[in-house]
Amino acid sequence: MTFRQFAIRNIKGNWVQYSAYFLSSVFSVMVFYMYTAFIWHPEIKSAEALPTDLISISITNMVSLIMTICNVIIFIFFFFFILYSNSAFLKKRKKEFGLYTLFGMTNWQIRKMVFLENMAISLAAIGTGLGLGTLFSKLFFMILSQFLKLDKPIAFYWPYQAMRFSAFLFLGLFLFQTFYSLFRIKKSEIIDLIQGASKPKTIPKFSWVLVALSVICITAGYFMAYTANIETVGIYFFPFISLVIVGTYFLFTQSSILILKGLQNRKSFFYSRINMIAVSQLLYKIKDNARMLFTVTMLSAVVLTATASVYIGLQILLAQALSHNPQSIAFLEKGRGVHDVIDPKQVERILAEDKVNVLYKVQIPLLHGNLLSETERMRKAKGTSTMVISEDSYNQVADLMSKPGLQITPGHAVFADMGLTNQYIPRDKVEISSDNWRSIITIEKEIEQDIFAPILVSGLLIVSNEDYEAWRGQTPEYGQYIYYAYELENWKQREDTVRKISEIVPEKHDRDIHFRVQTYKIVTQISTLVMFIGLFISVLFFLAAGSITYFKLFTEIEDDRSKFRSLMKVGMTIEEIRRVVGTHVGIMFFIPCLVGTVHTLFAVKTLNNLMGNVWLYAGIVIGCYWVLQTLYFLVARNFYMKWILREEVK
């Protein structure tokens, strides 16, 4: 048998432990390669496949930028992932190295064997990842082409440059980690190597000070997240993360020992059925498992928080896009009887031809003015350009949209703006003026402007009917404005109708007309793309967290088999073993998930403080994660049980 064959046989023998690590490596290479292939695709770089409108080109460029950022994240994350995995592999194989030394292998030969094993796994992972990436890249390009609304699908090609870049980058990373592993293999006493991880475990101890520190850190971090607002979120961000990380580490390394010893001291619980075996097993393993549980917890928290934040942000972006486009079609004309943008009769003709049901239409007169506060006057500022509307006209549109109306007395006004900028203090006196009139009014309050399309200038001033009529009488007809709007039934399916209308509008007036379906299409397109691209990163983190847990379980499986075989000899049934194993595997999978979920909930509370009610969106993400984690648990538990009982159950 050659040395190379010996290394390959070692890989086959340890494949149960290597499999999850190999899968995560393959997935990382595959995703990195597909992203790189898209970024460097000649049609994307030369814009041959892109439609002519600037919006689609901008979205495609944005997607390329997002993929570049994701590739950086994948590479950095994978570096630390294989660093952790290789360290765990070497630690577990101490006994194996001791036996090789006993049989006459030198330290140099052991290093050579580890080098060959690592390179075989690395080359296999890179080759498989690139192969799967090439196989699925056509499907990946087709999905992206559909999302990007390209005139033709992105063509499949063999991206030699992207493949070479991905292969050499990951090969360099694997080589670095391999040499780092070789450096860590030191010459040790044979007896120390053979005993390795099998040294008798002492009862772990905990420190009351560190237990208290874990509680204080987590509580303080949660308090910051719970109370954070727009003014303090920047101040609290890094302290919150630092406190939660420190608190979580000591939660698993110290507080978990306290909890298990507390269960051990509760005699009624400890001596009930299988609890004694389950608790004792966890207590003696907690020192070895604490860092793994901490790592998986933080990975789970990162996956959940990042995915929930992106999903929440995109859903809020979509909601804001719809609220800022309250009517299906809206346009603004300057001058009474003037139709520079489009004649309303043409709009109504196209709607009638396409048999579109109009739920309501409005024609609202407006004036243009300039608001100047006392502070702005003292600073000699220009003030705020605004549109002026009467309370009756405002209430007419508000009633159609089931919004609350306003009652305004002469000499007073309400300022409406998108986003509630709080420009004016209640009871603040401001000057409103135009070329033909000037007046001092009192601002009663500021509200969010959500019933007119954003074609209006900075804000909207709602005044009494008397004030409006007085100012309108002093304004020539060519200086007045008319806001036209139509609300359509099934507006999401009216893209063709909207396109016909937009083709009539002169190019110089494109900004004077808004179509809700176009905004909805762009935002939905961006949201879908970001979620689709980010999904791969979330899956990668999920697989990594699962593979760390999986590896930890199966590196201890021989010791567990020996213990359970001894317990069966003294009368323990297979059903009881199944329950102990289920408890052990369940804790390994679900405790990190549970703690990570709690961390995420407090992070989402911060988002809720900043953005409004976002719990539904967060609940969807967390629910999906728990479903996937449960499936992963069921698969791992079944494999684990089969391995434990493979000789006892025929």
Concatenated DSSP letters of 161-182: HHHHHHHHHHHHHHHHHHHHHH
Residue 195 has pLDDT above 60, yes or no: no
Task: Give the contacts of 237 (CB within 8 A, at least 6 positions apart).
Answer: none
pLDDT higher than 70, residue 634: yes
pLDDT at residue 244 greater than cutoff 90: yes
Q: What are phi and psi of 88, to 5 degrees?
A: -70, -40
Which residues are bridge partners to 484 per DSSP?
A: 331, 363
487-541 per-position pLDDT tens digit: 999 998 888 999 999 989 998 888 888 898 888 888 887 777 777 777 778 887 8
Rounded to whole angstroms, the Cα distance separating 439 from 468 reads 11
The pair phi, psi for residue 355, each rounded to 5°, is 55, 45
Cα–Cα nearest to 596, from 290, 301, 269, 194: 301
Shortest CA distance to 225 belongs to which of 235, 213, 215, 216? 235
pLDDT band at 410 (very low <50, low <70, confident <90, very high): very high
**Average pLDDT of the residues in 320-348:** 88
pLDDT band for position 322 (50/70/90)?
confident
Amino acid found at 479: G
Give the integer Cα–Cα distance in Å for 612 and 610. Answer: 6
Under the banding of pLDDT at 50, 70 and 90, the label for residue 650 is very low
C-alpha pair distances (Å), 535 with each of 134, 304, 311, 567, 633? 19, 12, 10, 44, 21
Least confident of 12-21, 160-169, 221-230: 12-21
Chain segment 465-487, per-residue pLDDT in tens: 999 999 999 999 888 999 999 99
**What Rg do the C-alpha atoms of the chain give, in angstroms?**
33
pLDDT at 50 over 50: no
- Does 152 have pLDDT greater than 90? no
**pLDDT per position as a tens digit, 420-464:** 455 665 567 888 888 888 899 988 888 887 788 877 656 789 999
**How high is the pLDDT of residue 263?**
79
561 membership: H or E segment, kind and range: helix 557-569
Q: What is the mean pLDDT of the chain?
A: 81
pLDDT reported for residue 155? 76
pLDDT band at 351 (very low <50, low <70, confident <90, very high): very high
DSSP 340-409: SS--HHHHHHHHHHTTPPEEEEEEEEEEEEEEEEHHHHHTT---EEEEEEEHHHHHHHHHHTT-------
pLDDT above 70: residue 191: no
What is the DSSP secondary-structure string of 617-644? HHHHHHHHHHHHHHHHHHHHHHHHHHHH
Most confident option among 2-6, 376-380, 515-519, 608-612: 515-519
Write out the two tokens for 222: 């949660």
- pLDDT, greater one: 34 or 527: 34
pLDDT of residue 248: 93
pLDDT over 80 (residue 223): yes
What is the pLDDT, as a whole number, of residue 283? Answer: 74
3-class secondary structure, 447: strand
Pairwise CA distance, residues 114 & 119, whole Å: 8
**Average of per-residue pLDDT across 381-410:** 88
Asked if the model's pLDDT at residue 113 lies above 80, the reply is yes
Q: What's the whole-number mean pLDDT along residues 252-260?
A: 86
pLDDT, position 418: 65
pLDDT at 194: 55
Higher pLDDT, 26 or 234: 26
pTM attached to this predicted model: 0.72
DSSP secondary structure letters along 11-65: HHHTHHHHHHHHHHHHHHHHHHHHHHHHHT-HHHHHTSSS-SSHHHHHHHHHHHH
The pLDDT value given to residue 377: 63
How far apart are alpha carbons 451 and 389 in whole angstroms?
12
